[in-house]
Amino acid sequence: MNRRHFIRTSVLAGGGLMLTIPSIAMNEHPHDVAIAETNGALSDLLKIAPDGQVRYQFIKHEMGQGVSTAMAMIIAEELCADWQKVKIDFPDTDLKKFQNDKYGGYDTGGSCTIIYQWDTLRKAGATARQMLIAAAAKQWNTTPENCYAKDHFVVNRLSSQRIDFGALATLAAQMTVSSEVLLKDPKDFQLIGKPKSAKLIPSMVTGSLQYGLDIKVPGMLYAVIARCPVFKGKLKSFDAKAALKIKGVKKVFTTQPIAGLQTETPYMPHDIREGVVVVADSFWAAKKGRDALVLVWDDGINAQYNSEDFKTLAAQRARHRTDPTGFVGDANAMADVRHVRTTLHASYVFPHQLHSCMEPLNCTAHASDNGCELWLGSQAPNLVVTELQRVFRFSEERIKVHCFPSGGGFGRRYYPDMAVEAAFISREAGNVPVKMIWTREDDQQHNLGHLFQHMEYQAALDKDNTLFAWYEKEICTYTWGAKYADAQLPGMAYHIPNIRYDFEDMTGEELVHSSAWRGVVGHGRFYSECFIDEIAASVKKDPYAFRLGLLEGDRDVLPNDANRFPGAKVRRVLTLAAEKSQWGKKMAPGSGQGMAVCPYGTSCCAVIAEVLVRDNKLTVTKIVIGVDCGKVVNPSGASNQITGGIVWGLTALFYGGLPIVKGRAVHTNFHQNKLLRMQECPDMEVYFVDSDDEKPQGIGEISSPLAIPAVLNAIYAATGKRIRTVPLDLSLFTS
Amino acid sequence: MATIDLNINGVKMSFDVDPQMPLLWVIRDYAGLTGTKYGCGIAQCGACTVHIDGAAVRSCSMTAQAASTKKIVTIEGLSKNGEHPLQLAWQEEDVPQCGYCQSGQIMQAAAFLSQHPNPSDDEITKAMTGNLCRCGTYQRIHKAVKAAAQAKK
């Protein structure tokens, strides 16, 4: 059903214009059918003040992906605003005003925002522009056709008079919203397509931007939690005598009442571990208090296992067929002796990963009878509200969330567990405001992680060495949905007549609670690009030529749950990257090139890596990335997402994983769970296809999952070593 | 508890805190200057970098007591209105993504450039490699440090 929402304006208190796109529920009796319509309910969206300031009310989550800047550019473009006068506000939650539907609302993830809001934001900006023009026309006693908007002014074509937006805003708010929205011709774009620095930078570089961790409210206390070191373990007993003696420590109590309260929906895990809270008048005292706790855990069954045990178990599951989750052609083609001459087989593993958001998880909460006020950075503050309602029976009107940009979300900040923890602590501490902080050690040892993925591949070649069948079994610990949205359509653009995809869920046996990561669940699945390389090698074909052969015919592909994606675009972006990296150029001994290409959602990316193995050391020397993300709104921000994603993937490649021994995470901080550093960062070059797409597509997650197969393929080219897991065992490169 | 006297950004302050409390937490929670960030607490990430008598120091690994006779400068005190060449270069090159590590990056770079006004590419990398960035902005950090060094000349 196509929900139509009607753009409205009103006069702000103090003058000026407020442009609103209310939800349809609030708009049951539209008084005028001839009102501009759009798809998204974005509620109070845009304020234009009498001084000319344009304030964009941004309710998605800004976590470094640059979405607030890109969305602001879209509105500012159609509005014909002076970019310097556009500011971004992060309003508090209000679930009645800002409803969560596909096109609007809070939740931020899956690289979707720009796809769903492009149209709505253009219409909103254009509508405001038209009303400003109407207001000016009225003042000049002329018609709108005789006016145009430019750089924060409405200009009279005939007289060359001009009035700035601020002076017009209040009158504009009272004009009738036109039913016909006049969008700009893209060739007239002044902002969209030009590189712009992120709007928040001035506050970032002066230290004035507030993140959730920076909040301080009057009377605030601090809390840290000692969480069970083993997933699904229980707290047996604790002794707080020594902790309570520490100066500053106020209260110690258990979190058992909120532990293990996972919601019904399987893809929303935020299982809170049992533990003990220390509340104090400083973070340092709380931490010292926690160190002084005597804790006895009932570790539970997971304490019997190491991560290696789980890996073995998953490998065992890989060996048998389940019912296919999706297939094209013949589901049993691999066994068809009439056609199959040779088969290949390989197992790949992508282990659990940490998110390692630079801003440690935190939430400040001030509970009251029947309600709670919270301060945090969250990718889904709507879930914070609904979870608090569910767990504490707070009423929705009495839950207020103050939203902040975060120091990294990457999927981890989608889950509302830290809000549940903080609200509980505040209530138990006597309805006082409490800032609950996860230390980096907590973050690394007692956290959710990227799911574990074992990918089992088989390929069958016929007598002509043509790729006849592809079999893939994914065994993983978190089901955001199996890979193929439609069982009859392929998730790869390669023209393989028979493709079968099996799936097995091992969530019940996980040693770490699994969750969405950057790329959601994509990273393990992109190992398919390594297996394609293995097939190419077996038929002695160049990896690029082999892929081009399989892409002939431009088959449509259905990645994730997105619309059909044309195979021609996959070929185009791969060709771009191949050209820019001079694929096939002569490489020095010990060096090699490797490629990986895949659509992600409605975008597509090709990564070509170059590596050098010399003096017992592996170096990634260069990465070239071709990108098709449709219309590029902010080339600078988009490029940042691509290169940042490469660094993300390389971190997993070199240092990733989440080793567990006797149920406990082994790594405690960054000296063990390492992140890539500047000295290990390769040269990166980003190229966008010359797209005639009118719409922008997602960008935040498309490069990271391809960095790994590209480098693994390059390592093979350089050394002949085929590596099928991460993190790399660097001793492989010592001779 | 003890009274610790600190000189932060030219302002003298006194706080009654545990003398073993890391300088980072006194700066953030007592002086109210939250531009200096907590990332790891063990000097692995550099988000907490401040200047102590002009040198870059990881404030998570220094007690407030030890800093009490020294001149402390935080990101808030690096310039009056964000006009330090590094801050301008960060804006020009569109360096930050989430921005959380960037105070530490800038403070590290500022101390480095004040000692090495004409650095090579390798020297910049060596100086900055102690600062982690999860968003992966390293390539642009390097470019901006280089640009700021040029601008200062």
Q: Does the beta-carbon distance from A200 to B87 stay under 8 Å?
A: no
- Is B77 in the A-facing interface, judged by CB distances under 8 Å? no
Distance, CA of A4 to CA of A500 (rounded, Å): 40
Residues of A in contact with B75 (CB under 8 A): 205-207
| Span A68-113, pLDDT tens digits | 999 999 999 999 999 999 999 999 888 877 777 777 788 898 888 9
Kindly state the average pLDDT of the residues B30-35. 98
Give the pLDDT confidence score for residue A29 in this predicted structure: 40
> Helix (H, G, I), strand (E, B), or coil: what is residue A668?
coil
- Is B153 in the A-facing interface, judged by CB distances under 8 Å? no
* % residues pLDDT > 70 (chain A): 93
Please, are residues A541 and A514 in contact by the beta-carbon 8 Å criterion?
Answer: no
Q: Alpha carbon of B32 to those of A189, A307, A403, B74: distances in Å?
A: 43, 42, 20, 11
Give the pLDDT confidence score for residue A719 in this predicted structure: 96
Which among B93, B98, B125 has the least Cβ separation from residue A358?
B98
Q: Does the beta-carbon distance from B100 to A216 stay under 8 Å?
A: no
Give the pLDDT confidence score for residue A28 in this predicted structure: 39
Which of B24, B97, B120, B137 should be substituted to probe chain A, the one whose Cβ sees the most A Cβ atoms within 10 Å? B97
Which of B8, B75, B94 should be substituted to probe chain A, the one whose Cβ sees the most A Cβ atoms within 10 Å? B94
Please, are residues A68 and A199 in contact by the beta-carbon 8 Å criterion?
Answer: yes
Give the pLDDT confidence score for residue A226 in this predicted structure: 98
Which among A201, A357, A359 has the least Cβ separation from residue B91?
A201
Give the A:B interface size as CB pairs under 8 Å: 187
Residue by residue, DSSP assigns B31-95 as: S--TTS--S-SSSSS-TTEEEETTEEEEGGGSBTGGGTTSEEE-GGGS-SSS-SHHHHHHHHTT-
Q: A727: cis peptide before it, omega within 30°?
A: yes
Distance, CA of A512 to CA of A164 (rounded, Å): 57
Confidence of residue A300 (pLDDT cuts 50, 70, 90): very high
Residue A582 makes CB contacts below 8 A (sequence gap 6+) with none
Which among B33, B96, B129 has the least Cβ separation from residue A204?
B96
Give the pLDDT confidence score for residue A326 in this predicted structure: 83
Distance from CA of B43 to the nearest CA of A (A): 9
- Length, in residues, of chain B: 153
| Span A444-487, pLDDT tens digits | 999 999 999 999 999 999 999 999 999 999 999 976 666 665 65
Please, are residues A324 and A500 in contact by the beta-carbon 8 Å criterion?
Answer: yes
Which of A42-51, A145-154, A648-657, A724-733 has the least mean pLDDT?
A42-51
Chain A: residue whose CA lies nearest to B47:
A358
Q: Does the beta-carbon distance from B134 to A675 stay under 8 Å?
A: yes
Residue A370 makes CB contacts below 8 A (sequence gap 6+) with A393, A394, A395, A398
The first and second tokens of residue B111, run together, are: 């101390």
Which of A358, A439, A625, A704 should be substituted to probe chain B, the one whose Cβ sees the most B Cβ atoms within 10 Å? A358
Sheet holding A153-156, edge to edge: A147-150, A153-156, A162-164
| Span A556-585, pLDDT tens digits | 877 655 567 888 999 999 999 999 999 999
- Is B136 in the A-facing interface, judged by CB distances under 8 Å? yes
Residue B5 makes CB contacts below 8 A (sequence gap 6+) with B12, B13, B14, B68
